[in-house]
Amino acid sequence: MSKKLRSKIISEINENRISTVEVCDILNKSGSIEGVTPLSPGQFAVGEAFYVYASEESNYDLHSQISNAPKDSIVFIDVINCKGRAPIGDIIAKYLHLYRKVNAIVVNGPVRDAHTLIKENRPIWCKGVTPIGCFNEYREATKDSVSIAKKASSKFRDSIIICDDSGIAIIPKKEITDNILKKLKWIELQEDIWYHCIDTLKWDTYRTIAKKDYLDKKNVISEEILKKLKEFKYE
């Protein structure tokens, strides 16, 4: 997997606003994290994942980790053994967004200072809100927490994260291939065909989406498009 290919995939998704729903579909109905939703709806972001974490109810080390967040990245903040506490609030969000210039922040847990974050329209996806934050004091991570973080860091390294109103989608490193790029280029065409069948041809959804009659009926779609759809078998 090359950086050039990853950049192409990110550009394709960004330029065409390819949704998390469509990305998860081409990942065989997978690739998301349940419960992670936008704090402020109506936003879209895509970029390379940058993994950091908070643990043992403390965000002390998190401050050091985020200082290396790359521009245009999606910062993924894992929350390990924090007992429902928020690892970030308005100050960390402002620092990352304005001064590290990241595209979005994804928190695998709650955030605090929701009133300010919503008012400032920060690009944040999280698992709800709470007024209770992590302690700003050093606490050594347990062996279990370190193990969880190492596995997660390996999983997220070189991956791509897409964020929109439906949640997030993660394209792992192993899926960043020429084939995925090709599928992304054709995925919205599939949606257009479905809408054409329903809106123009007045087909029902069973005939259109379940049976896919357009694959067998002549003059519904061109032979060239038909060949591509059968090749990728996108559903």
pLDDT of residue 235: 45
Strand partners, 163: 45, 168
pLDDT of residue 185: 85
Higher pLDDT, 50 or 223: 50
Summarised one tens digit per residue, pLDDT across range 86-140 is 999 999 999 999 999 999 999 999 999 999 999 999 999 999 999 999 999 999 9
* 157 Cβ contact partners less than 8 Å away, ≥ 6 residues apart: 49, 51, 173
**What CA–CA distance (Å, rounded) separates 202 from 219?**
15
For residue 231, pLDDT over 70 is answered with no
**What CA–CA distance (Å, rounded) separates 161 from 95?**
20
Summarised one tens digit per residue, pLDDT across range 129-183 is 999 999 999 999 999 999 999 999 999 999 999 999 999 999 999 999 999 998 9
Summarised one tens digit per residue, pLDDT across range 46-88 is 999 999 999 999 999 999 999 999 999 999 999 999 999 999 9
User: Whose structure tokens read 């192409």?
Assistant: 8
Q: Residue 40, CB half-sphere, CA atoms under 13 Å: how many?
A: 17
Distances 71 to 64, 67, 78, 101, 139 between C-alpha atoms, Å: 16, 11, 19, 5, 29
Distances 53 to 9, 123, 143 between C-alpha atoms, Å: 26, 18, 14
pLDDT of residue 222: 77
For residue 234, pLDDT over 90 is answered with no
Spatial contact of 176 and 169, defined as CB atoms under 8 Å apart = no
pLDDT-derived band of residue 230, with 50, 70 and 90 as boundaries? Answer: low
Spatial contact of 176 and 1, defined as CB atoms under 8 Å apart = yes
pLDDT of residue 192: 85
C-beta neighbour count of 234 within 10 angstroms: 16
DSSP the chain: --HHHHHHHHHHHHHHT--HHHHHHHTTS----TT-EESSSS--EEEEEEEEEEETTB-HHHHHHHTTPPTT-EEEEEEES-TT-BS--HHHHHIIIIIS--SEEEESS-BS-HHHHHHTT--EEES-B-SPBPBSS--PPPHHHHHHHHHHHHHHTT-EEEEETTEEEEE-GGG-SHHHHHHHHHHHHHHHHHHIIIIIS---HIIIIIS-GGGTSTTSS-HHHHHHHHHHT--
For residue 233, pLDDT over 60 is answered with no
Pick the CATH number of 3-173 from 3.50.30.40, 3.40.50.1820, 3.40.50.720, 3.40.1280.10: 3.50.30.40
Tokens of 19: 């949704």
pLDDT of residue 1: 59
**Per-domain boundaries in the chain:** 3-173, 178-232
